[in-house]
Amino acid sequence: MDWTEIKLTVPLRYAEQTADIANMVVPYGIYIEDYSDLEQGAREIAHIDLIDRELLERDRSRAIVHVYINPEENPIEAVGFLGERLAASGIEYKLETDSISEDDWANNWKKYFKPLKVGWRLLICPTWEEVPPDSERAVLRIDPGMAFGTGGHETTRLVLETLERYIKGGETMLDVGCGSGILSVAARMLGAKSTVGVDIDPLAVKTAVENGLLNGLNKPDYTVIQGDLVDKISGRFDVVAANIVADAIIELSASIVPFITRGGVYIASGIIDTREEDVTRALESCGLKIVQRDERGGWVVLVSRVVTQ
């Protein structure tokens, strides 16, 4: 099987941040195509003055981040993850692949997405698969559509497993950057009284609403809002979850605190281990205390509580 190449064209100033986000998908097979210092570099490194005209005509205001996906992994989820994270980070981008057509998204998903046990209590099952007859788990039906979030990625699984520990029944939950709605649906399956999901991407909101309906969930106990993360949210919640990039968690931390009930928890995921210290520092600076940490495959989830109100 062939590897899948994903090309992300972004403004030059976002090249490193985009590479960091891409590195969340795969820890290998990434390089940045950057022609901003082409002429100077050619003279310093190659000691030449003549440069191919085609190279000189390249757009030097943008960079291209190339990501290569192992054929044994899921390129469709990588596309969804990258699109969602770049949008959430406010990065203008163009995404191209050499083997994935967005028009064929649903069919491609079926190749990779099978029933998946998560933690002790959940079974995530796509709409086109039969539920295993001997399963005693809470079944979460999902159709990812064009939004990230199936439970397969380490960051999502870490949050789902963490939700099992903190949702005992009757809690309220806020899902920041809800994507496919998987965390909100799972929370209701685990016993949460109500959930509110918010995402900046209208397609993610549409998908999250549809996934709620697939599981018999609707307003007012299952609400999905389109907005810039917390700008349209009110009230306080027993559990706040944000499965987004480290930079977004850092930026949002102070804004999140007023939405957490006294004694409530903030579950932050999507944190690559090299950024854990930065995120921890940001959480603590706005009155949050880390009470739990878990890690899998270089990814970290941090659970914190408010220590000052």
The CATH number of the domain holding residue 29 is 3.30.70
Q: Each residue of 48-100: pLDDT tens digit?
A: 343 344 444 555 678 889 888 877 777 777 887 788 778 878 889 999 887 65
Greater confidence, 305 or 146?
305
Query: Considering 105, 121, 137, which residue would you say is the last residue of a domain?
Result: 105
With respect to residue 128, please indicate whether it lies within any of the assigned structural domains.
no
Pairing of strands 237-243, 222-226: unpaired
With respect to residue 135, please indicate whether it lies within any of the assigned structural domains.
no
pLDDT at 88: 75
With respect to residue 274, please indicate whether it lies within any of the assigned structural domains.
yes
167 shares its domain with 54? no
How many domains does the chain contain in total?
2
CATH number at residue 252: 3.40.50.150
**Contact call for residues 149 and 132 (beta carbons, < 8 A):** no
Backbone angles phi, psi at 200, to 5 degrees: -75, -20
56 shares its domain with 165? no
Whether residue 262 has pLDDT greater than 70: yes
With respect to residue 111, please indicate whether it lies within any of the assigned structural domains.
no
195 shares its domain with 299? yes
With respect to residue 137, please indicate whether it lies within any of the assigned structural domains.
no
265 shares its domain with 168? yes
Distance CA 229, CA 197 (A): 9
With respect to residue 132, please indicate whether it lies within any of the assigned structural domains.
no
99 shares its domain with 159? no
100 shares its domain with 168? no
- pTM of full prediction above 0.95: no
> Is omega for the bond preceding 220 within 30 degrees of 0, making it cis?
yes
Name the band, by pLDDT with cuts 50, 70 and 90, for residue 164: very high
45 shares its domain with 178? no
Average pLDDT over residues 26-47: 55
Average pLDDT over residues 254-275: 91
With respect to residue 133, please indicate whether it lies within any of the assigned structural domains.
no
Name the band, by pLDDT with cuts 50, 70 and 90, for residue 287: very high
166 shares its domain with 302? yes
Distance CA 133, CA 115 (A): 12
Name the band, by pLDDT with cuts 50, 70 and 90, for residue 146: very low
Is the dihedral angle over the CA atoms 142, 197, 272, 296 positive or is it negative? negative
DSSP 14: G
pLDDT at 149: 56
Query: Considering 43, 74, 105, which residue would you say is the last residue of a domain?
Result: 105
Distance CA 28, CA 45 (A): 26
CB atoms inside a 10 Å sphere around CB 143: 17
239: containing domain: 153-306
Helix (H) or strand (E) holding 10: strand 4-11
With respect to residue 256, please indicate whether it lies within any of the assigned structural domains.
yes
State the Cα torsion 191-260-228-226 to the nearest 10°: 30
Averaged pLDDT of the chain:
81
171 shares its domain with 272? yes
Distance CA 294, CA 242 (A): 15
Residue written as token pair 């903030």: 266
93 shares its domain with 196? no
Distance CA 78, CA 82 (A): 6
300 shares its domain with 189? yes
Q: Each residue of 189-230: pLDDT tens digit?
A: 999 999 999 998 888 898 899 999 999 999 999 999 998 878
Backbone angles phi, psi at 63, to 5 degrees: -120, 155
Is the dihedral angle over the CA atoms 287, 293, 295, 298 positive or is it negative? positive
166 shares its domain with 75? no
Q: Each residue of 113-142: pLDDT tens digit?
A: 678 888 888 888 887 778 877 778 888 888
